[in-house]
Amino acid sequence: MYALVIVLMLNGMYSVQAPNMVFPDLETCERMKELNTKVLRDTAPNDSAKFYAVCVKVNKDIEV
């Protein structure tokens, strides 16, 4: 399982976002990452806005 984590940075501030879902495999997560990357690039408020997106492996046996 994989989760998509996105860090948005603007004017020295940052926000961490992740959809409330996991993806069954890395390929699916990467496709969602590409889609989100396009949206973030197209809607950036200015040139100083940056983001970092990564698919993170989540172990199935994780305990909460």
Bridge partners, 56 (sequence order): 3
Total domains, the chain = 1
Provide the whole-model pTM. Answer: 0.80
What was the pLDDT predicted at 4?
93
Residue 15 lies in a domain: yes
Residue 64 lies in a domain: no
Per the structure, the complete domain to which residue 21 belongs is given by 2-57
| Cα within 13 Å of Cα(21), Cβ side | 8
**Is the Cα dihedral 26, 30, 33, 35 positive or negative?**
negative
Per-residue pLDDT of the chain (64 residues), as tens digits, is: 999 999 999 988 889 988 788 899 999 999 999 999 999 899 888 888 999 999 999 987 766 6
Residue 46 lies in a domain: yes
> Token pair for residue 41?
């690039």
Dihedral Cα 36, 41, 42, 44, nearest 10 deg: 110
4 within 8 A of 29, measured Cβ to Cβ: yes
What was the pLDDT predicted at 34?
95
What was the pLDDT predicted at 62?
67
Nearest to 8 by CA among 28, 37, 31: 37
